[in-house]
Structure 1
């Protein structure tokens, strides 16, 4: 089944989505030019050389229909016109080609005598060329005329001859579009042999290009999976992409949630798109149309599965016409429609009975030989679509295959069609249904379904699978970790032979809840990995990597993460045909998605392929290999998007955002945090929503955006678990940075120190170190240095060691130590931390009377800060003119810049009003300003 089956066509159930839906796209609005800058440079460079009298004379833009050739040409012409280059446009078409000089009438009729003169000379080639020459020279005042011909091969013969004459005579240059597969008129072939023509191929949009185009067109980021679905549905065709977006906005299925555009159903396009596709299908005979209808209904077929004796010959014609695509899979040839958007147009006029007959023909042909799981899935879907029912056993087997391919909408459809069958397979069917409900964003239904499954008699292995999923839903969707652990304990008593695997699951849940000491104890109880099977070893390694990195055991964490990736790597597995487009590896593996704090235990088969990569991304970053961690996180996100599980996509986005923050890239981190918030709201992911908001709060604060940080924190603080204990370290960091950016650094440090103490009690060394380092970054290294030193001594982590060294050096005002810390941070990829350490080192060197060393460190801090996407943390302010302020002067000046009166500041800091005013006056003198109104500028903050 196609990937579009993963989308549920349903109305928005979430008020936030309705509230944030925007107005429909204005008719005729032109999309911004994006993702083609390199091609534009090629065209302008070539035409610039031609304008100076050198080669080439012609630039041809070649590509498929809808690839964006005309838009690229138009953008090129606009740039040239803005620079004074004279141009003229000619649009060719099949209808104008029936009229001699039809495409050139408007251009030639603009000369002396108008269209009447053209009529007089039209039959005389010499007079016609003379007229054309006069028009071109008149239009080309100030330079040689550039003639832009859209659809060059569609020019009539007379127009071709005349344009070629102008080019060969050196009177004009040519910019033309040529559709792929269409022959170039003979008159222009000589340009190639004389090196007077340049060909620029205009490809279809890549996925990355599609992301850029969508963000530019919609004015805000598009959710990763929605962008991937739009790319798949459009095939990278710019024209199709635009019509799909317009259609989805008109239908209300593309709307903003938390500032991110997101699809709620498969994009359907506009009537204009359907008319365009229908025009391509005109002229087909009934046999050809029948083959296309069969392919549309079946979502592709093997060539030998087509029933008609002439179907192979018909496929050849359709392939040559560009209506189907044939690909080799293993030893068989499979054929699909050339574009996903053809299917709804092809089946639009098909009666229900005729569609059922075609599907049942394919069932009769495939069912007797459907030994492969993928074939059983196709048979079940075809029979279900044709008749509304199928054998319960077949439906269950098909549901297993759909679940392995992460097609949870199809899983739900297949299980529901069993119509509540109460056979021995009922517990497994309910398990599959519960999983599907969970992945489709309905956790309450999922928990109820899984409870029903748990009450039915089942094998020990199946009971373990049911318990595992129930525990995951309780922990991650309902935030009831202790209840989840109780379910696992009950399963361990009922199925003692599966205890090691269940202990691993418990360790994973505890690690996700930041209960590191307990997680390590469970992992030790599970025994050495060699006692487990391959799949359970992979899950053990995922859980161990998370727990080890949290405990500061970097070497052990890296070894475990590498093991998990190696055990779950299936990249070398050959691809086989399935209706969902998944590889044989995907069909053989069951999903084990990684949840917000770590890896969630799986059900059967291998862990989800994106999960171990997410864990490895975290481990690498915490080991001081941040750039590597970001690269791995990006790969994990791509794989999660390809697999189509929204919960896993949100998790991958979070790990990417988290690593980008460590790298000192708050603007990029904020972009992905918004994706997390958007996805978590739509798909009811309560553990990911606060993480996304926390990351957004921190990123906004690091950018100096006090209002943005406060807005994100307000949403986070309104959550049901914002005050729960033990508290998630990220929530504590968010609160502290919101306090700091809004002027209350003292309260922020207190928040951080308390959270660090709690993290130490739970064994979460990495979190405690990060929190204490934040306290040092907010101007209190003395408060953090001792605790960080103890953590670094007990840990095996270069990043923790660097945090501790930086805090100790800052507390001692040791410029040499701060210089060394800056070097360590920079090597590890933590550029913001490096910039802050260098800035603090400059201040310490200045205080020690070493002006030269201070200047060098300040220059280094400034250069590092310039690579941090506009970060404006308090420590970076030392690179601004305010660097001479004392800590108390800076604190008071920051509060005053935030709008507090001297009395308000005095009450908050427990000082007298006179003391506050004295510090302000001292600060004004150091900053070279006269009053409060200038504080924002002087402190380098935005008003």
Structure 2
């Protein structure tokens, strides 16, 4: 769908600064003076003006500038009655006028670092006297009058530092500005390019929309192609960089093309004093990396504008200088080969196919697949042979471009000279056929025809792939046994180990029993050994996230989150959004989970190798738990349409999505039945953790018959989450409010905040049934508090009872909700497997108890209208 309004957004909303607003308010209440400090473009003025707009009477707004700095009291001209007064007289005159506004009035002085000396003296006097409330903004790194710096140095007022917007706040802002979600890769690129500088972000977004590169596709914003600086943004950056002499320009160009550049290497190519001057002006910065100092750009956009200003011949010459220096110094650090290969691509140096393949592996290790493809194509063009074509073919398949992948993999098979190489090419071809092209039978035929040696024995590498297919198809018991046969065999190839470790890690996460982190580490070590498997790192790492959520030990995911957040490139952003989205779903932060899952859908077109249906299933759960059954139903339909013929490991979340949709519509009988079916199926597949998750979902929907099986699962699994689920089930079965509150404690400790809210809500109902109305009120308040504080105001059946208790039974409530959906009594009876007379009886008793005249008013009272909240 084309962007309907490609013009610039004239007014950006104010968002993402609640913490800073509170800090300014607290400082002003305490001292009467606050100085808001931060770099140019970070949003100091917008924050100050927003605060002023919310803060009652205002004495006025003073805006200093470079031009007014040469005029005594130039910024305070509106308060001067007569021009030409002596500075002392004028100072007294303006001071008197401002003091007349009273101590409760607010004066905003924007860009106070640019005030002239007389104006700065006036501001200092007003601050000392507390004559009125003062909010000042100053730019860090700029000269500032002593009278202004004294405000915070002498403790007259508090200085509040404003940092650039973080990725989450930036994503929220962009979603509000653009009127829709932004995909994960675009968000990462926009943040990495602007580093949260709102002014520069605004100009970049306006320019990229106008150029047709930031576009609306299927309801989501995507950014395609390289960034290009608009004239307005280039002008802002040029002002910030200022005038450079020849040595400074040379040094900055080298850093812009080779960042990061070792300090010693840069000093050998450019003037030492020039580098020092660039650092003093903040155009470059020094970063210690072990025993070596590296030079980075002060901001990514300094590199964009510097590269844009270089002619092609000069850029090639500079890259050649850096490459030659790196070649002379040798590859001493991780990434040096990658850096040299990238420089060679844009220089006059002859291509080195071996170096290009090695560099591509390093790029894929960082999930920078765009750079990896560029390097591998250059390696193929440089006659890199089998390794280059195999790596490129697998990468193209991973990027969901199967036709191109088939071409490269066929070429790789033709030049393979050993059995091991033929096996590697065969595995890559099967991956594309079965996982990406959804032709598993063709893939198996290729394996049967070509995956055997001269004696007819299967290649050992195919066993690891078989394990992955078995676990991916939800046959966990068989898959784990097959994976173990590979992992315990000496001398197995890295490719077989990678696939077997993937199967063992995911299978163990679903079965329970620990060791997932160890298996993920082994799989990652193996994946890094070959160009066609290193792209699987993000896929392998997700097993760590799954286990942390399933066990109820979210802190165990911290190391993996740190790893994924450090990954550069768009695909690093995709994996980061997936990891954080999954943990948000487990915690009950459903708005965040839905937003993050929606943001990664563009990276997985079609069946997405089995991922797409999984994502939609998790979106369905998140939307249903937000009280949006219509949006959840749409997500569930998308999940059904995207189901993969072979990879079904995400079916658990599709089936849970179906159960949650029934619950959100008030059909608790159907919700419990769906959860129970999933539990039975999971147990048959050896997925004991999935069984526990499904049975606990049934408990949250009100099922009182899960205490015994969940107690047995808690003994088998022995995890915090399983024990908490068993305690919840036992408390619900006994209708024991104290036990249910204990379960809420355990679930909170396990990071299951929405489940904890449900347990507290169940405690409220149990206490109410026992006549303990004070305890019921306290439990209900706790449930609602958890939901609002930790779960973004999610809505579940239990919480609805706690928020608006009505004296009706759960079955009477269920009947009323179905009536609200427009079902007749006969249709309700068929849905609930009861007689029409029973339905009529439930409606009659509920109406009598509530004093309502008919089923329509009952439906309105029990089931208020919900609106869609699809992100």
- TM (norm. structure 2) is 0.85
Asked if structure 2 preserves the Cα contact closer than 8 Å seen for 1:589 and 1:606, the reply is no
* Contact kept in structure 1, 2:497 and 2:526, CA below 8 Å: no
- Cα offset, 1:517, TM superposition: 1.5
Q: CA deviation at 1:433?
A: 0.9
Report whether the alignment pairs 1:927 with 2:850.
Answer: yes
Q: 1:707 aligns with which of 630, 639, 660?
A: 630
Say whether the 8 Å CA contact 1:62–1:180 is kept in structure 2: yes
1:455-476 deviations in Å (ceiling 9; x for gaps): 4324455445444444444454
- Would the alpha carbon gap of residues 928 and 387 (structure 1) be closer, same or farther in structure 2, given more than 3 Å must change? farther
2:61/2:108 contact within 8 Å kept? yes
Q: Give the aligned partner of residue 580 of structure 1.
A: none
From 811, 820, 824, the equivalent of 1:901 is 824
The structure 1 residue matched to 2:94, chosen from 132, 137, 151, is: 132
User: Which residue among 906, 910, 918 is the counterpart of 2:841?
Assistant: 918
Instruction: State the Cα distance separating 1:395 from its structure 2 match.
Output: 3.3
Q: 1:201 Cα shift?
A: 2.8
**Pair 1:541–1:411, CA change in 2 (3 A):** closer
Q: The residue matched to 2:143 in structure 1 has which SS?
A: coil
TM superposition shift of 1:426: 1.3
Shift of 1:518: 1.4
1:687 aligns with one of 610, 618, 622: 610
Aligned partner of 2:306 in structure 1 is 346
Whole-Å separation in 2 of the counterparts to 1:74 and 1:911: 62
1:575 maps to what in 2? Answer: none
Task: After TM superposition, give the deviation of residue 504 of structure 1 in Å.
Answer: 4.2
Determine if contact 2:256/2:297 at 8 Å carries over to the other structure: yes
> In 2, Cα distance between the equivalents of 1:268 and 1:323?
20
User: How far apart are 1:407 and its partner, in Å?
Assistant: 2.8
**Partners of 1:170 and 1:881 in 2: CA distance:** 49
TM-aligned CA deviation for residue 750 of structure 1: 4.9
Task: Show the 5 A alignment for 1:121-520.
Answer: 121=85, 124-137=86-99, 140-143=100-103, 146-161=106-121, 163-164=123-124, 174-188=134-148, 195-215=155-175, 217-218=177-178, 222-255=182-215, 261-306=221-266, 311-371=271-331, 374-387=335-348, 390-418=351-379, 420=381, 425-479=384-438, 493-494=452-453, 503-520=463-480
CA separation in 2, counterparts of 1:547 and 1:454?
A: 31
Equivalent residue for 2:20, pick from 39, 42, 56: 39
- In 1, the alpha carbon distance for the partners of 2:597 and 2:535 equals 29
Over 3 Å counting, the alpha-carbon distance change for 1:484 and 1:866 in structure 2 is farther
Structure-1 separation of matches of 2:247 and 2:168: 39
Q: Does 1:48 align with 2:29?
A: yes
Do residues 97 (structure 1) and 66 (structure 2) align? Answer: no
Change (3 A) 1:305 1:74: same
Partner of 1:673: 597
Deviation per residue, 1:759-790 (Å, 9 max, x gap): 333222332343344455545555x6777677
Instruction: Find the aligned partners of 1:407 and 1:193 in 2 and give their Cα distance.
Output: 45
Note closer, same or farther for the CA distance 1:69–1:874 as it changes in structure 2 (3 Å cut). closer
Compared CA separation, residues 866 and 269, structure 1 to 2 (3 A): farther
User: Could you say if the C-alpha distance between residues 149 and 887 of structure 1 is closer, same or farther in structure 2, counting changes exceeding 3 Å?
Assistant: closer
SS in 1 for 2:54: helix
Within 5 Å, which residues of 2 pair with 1:684-763?
Answer: 685-719=608-642, 721=644, 728-742=651-665, 744-763=667-686
Query: Cα 1:771–1:257, aligned 2, differ >3 Å: closer, same or farther?
Result: farther
State the alpha-carbon separation in 2 of the partners of residues 46 and 310 from structure 1: 47
Query: CA 1:280 to 1:719, structure 2 compared with 1: closer, same or farther past 3 Å?
Result: closer
Change (3 A) 1:648 1:478: farther
Deviations 1:498-538 (A, max 9, x none): 97775444333422332112112213323548887999888
Between the aligned partners of 1:379 and 1:197, the Cα distance in structure 2 is 51
The Cα offsets for residues 379-414 of structure 1, whole Å up to 9 and x where unpaired, read as 433333235962444433443443334332223223
Cα deviation, residue 923, structure 1: 1.4
CA contact (8 A) 1:67 1:204 kept: yes
Give the CA RMSD over aligned residues.
4.4
- 2:45 paired residue number: 70
Moved more, 713-722 or 510-519: 713-722
Tell me the residue number matched to 2:786.
Answer: 867
Q: Partner residue of 1:561?
A: 516
- The secondary structure found in structure 2 opposite 1:703 is coil
Asked if structure 2 preserves the Cα contact closer than 8 Å seen for 1:164 and 1:187, the reply is: yes
* Corresponding position of 1:595: none
Residue range with higher mean Cα deviation, 202-211 or 335-344: 202-211
Query: 1:878-903: per-residue Cα shift (whole Å, max 9, x none)?
Result: 54666643454333212101122334
Deviation (angstroms), 1:940:
5.2
The count of corresponding residues between Structure 1 and Structure 2 is: 860
Is the Cα–Cα contact under 8 Å of residues 516 and 544 in structure 2 kept in the other structure? yes
Name the SS for the 2:159 alignment partner. Answer: strand
The aligned counterpart of 1:851 is 771
The CA distance in 2 between the partners of 1:726 and 1:96, in whole Å, is: 66
- State the distance in 2 between where 1:432 and 1:804 align: 48
2:708 and 2:434 map into 1 onto residues whose CA distance is 35
SS at match of 2:474: coil
1:544 equivalent in alignment to 2:501: no
Q: Is the 8 A contact 1:245 1:269 kept in 2?
A: no
Match of 1:107 among 72, 79, 83: 79
What is the DSSP-based 3-state SS (H/G/I as helix, E as strand, rest coil) of the residue aligned with 1:118? coil
Contact 1:63 1:179 in 2 (8 A): yes
Does 2:506 correspond to 1:524?
A: no
CA contact (8 A) 2:323 2:343 kept: yes
Are residues 277 and 797 of structure 1, via their aligned partners in 2, closer, same or farther at CA, if it must alter by over 3 Å? closer
Query: What are the equivalent positions in structure 2 for 1:758-837 lying under 5 Å apart?
Result: 758-775=681-698, 777-778=700-701, 781=704, 799-800=721-722, 803=725, 825=747, 828-836=750-758
1:640 match: 564
Offset of residue 428 of structure 1 = 0.6
Separation in 2 of the partners of 1:309 and 1:532?
47
What is the TM-score normalised by the length of structure 1? 0.79
Supply the distance in 1 between the matched residues of 2:253 and 2:199 (Cα, whole angstroms).
24
Matched, 1:618 2:546: yes
The answer to whether the 8 Å contact 1:727/1:755 transfers is no
1:684-742 superposed Cα distances (whole Å, 9 cap, x missing partner): 72422111211122222233322222222232233355999999232223234334544
Structure 2: 5+ residue stretches without partners:
867-871
Preserved contact between residue 880 and residue 939 of structure 1 (Cα < 8 Å): no
Q: How big is the shift at 1:429?
A: 0.5
Structure 1, 160-169 or 884-893: larger mean CA deviation: 160-169
How far apart, in 1, do the equivalents of 2:576 and 2:450 lie?
Answer: 30
CA–CA distance in 2 between the matches of 1:307 and 1:877?
67
Contact 1:468-1:603 at 8 Å conserved across structures: no
- In the alignment, the residues of structure 1 paired with residue 36 and residue 650 of structure 2 have an alpha-carbon distance, to the nearest angstrom, of 59
